[in-house]
Amino acid sequence: MTWSKRMRPMMGTFVEVGFDSAVVSDVAWVFQRAFQALEEVVSLMSFHDVNSDLSRINAQPGQWVRGQAPTVALLQRAKQLMLDSDHLFNCTVGGYLVRDGILPEHEGYASALPAGRAEDLDIDGEAVRLRRPVLVTLDGIAKGFAVDRAVNAMRACGVETGWVNAGGDLRCFGAVTLPVALRTADGYQTLTLQNAALACSNTSHSEDFPSKIFHSDGGSPDDVEISVQADSAWLADGVTKVLALAEPEARSALAKKLGARHLSL
């Protein structure tokens, strides 16, 4: 195989796109389409950008807001994961994140509820409505979703084997097996990944990269490293947030219920 790789800084990390270019006529076009897919997710679903789909939805509770297809698709997935996980995953906890200064307080956000429930999110075709003034944040699954979109873009260009690695979110497809080093309490453990996605989430707080996982009631988990394997990167990404809030002894069974696998290291 002939490997072609490119890396760019985006989504708070370095994103690597790689693929077997032996059967591809236009290598540059593949990279362009893959990175465009990643950038589109960032543009549409950014909490920081007041003009993004997500910000327009958050700014108009009670009103139907038309969103782009990728935004609506991810909101549908987010709502279903909320229901399936009994709200351990909750994309409406933006109020807590704004309160703690992790996400920006745009105009009108001061009166937002700290968190909501799946029932607060109505989706009808391309239109989305928040029933109450909650703040949706898709940070818990957007990076994984972007990885999936980039993989789909590569396949649409005729790529048969490749991968996208966005920091803690990785997906590979085709006839490639990737070695992955996962951090453990004793150092690192190496595993291999083929035709699957892997997401890792560390709940410890960093001043350089502030982030936080919140339960619906405002609680946060103890520092823990969670690794999840699934068929899609968005699901692996989302399930790491679920398992971080779940009781340790329930994590493996819960991941299986949600269509993923908890990597207990």
- If we measure between CA atoms, which residue out of 154, 200, 194 comes closest to residue 171? 194
Q: Taking the domains of the chain in order of start, what are their residue ranges? A: 3-21+161-262
Vertex 263: Cα angle to 257 and 265 (nearest 5):
145
b/e map 185-200, b = 16+ CB within 10 Å: eeeeeeeebeebbbbb
Residue type, 158: G
Q: Which residue has the tokens 């956000």?
A: 109
Phi-psi sector, 48: left (phi>0), alpha (psi -120 to 50), beta: alpha
pLDDT of residue 209: 47
Q: Is 177 helix (H, G, I), strand (E, B) or coil?
A: coil
pTM of the model: 0.94
pLDDT of residue 45: 97
**265 residues of the chain, pLDDT tens digit each:** 899 999 999 998 999 999 999 989 999 999 999 999 999 999 999 999 999 999 999 999 999 999 999 999 999 999 999 999 999 999 999 999 999 999 999 998 989 999 999 999 999 999 999 999 999 999 989 999 999 999 999 999 999 999 999 988 999 999 999 999 887 767 788 899 999 999 998 765 555 444 578 888 877 777 788 999 999 999 999 999 999 999 999 999 999 999 999 997 6
Provide, for the chain, the percentages of residues in helix, strand and coil under a 3-state DSSP scheme, each rounded to the nearest 5: 35, 25, 40
Dist. CA 118–CA 44, nearest whole Å = 21
Give residue 30's Cα distance to chain centre: 22
pLDDT of residue 211: 57
What lies within 8 Å, CB to CB, of 206 at 6+ separation is none
Q: Which residue has the tokens 């595993």?
A: 191
Dist. CA 222–CA 45, nearest whole Å = 28
pLDDT of residue 224: 83
User: Is 231 within 8 Å of 171 (Cβ atoms)?
Assistant: no
- What is the rounded end-to-end Cα distance, in angstroms, of the chain? 32
Q: Which residue has the tokens 């405002």?
A: 218
pLDDT of residue 144: 98
Vertex 137: Cα angle to 237 and 113 (nearest 5):
135
What lies within 8 Å, CB to CB, of 51 at 6+ separation is none
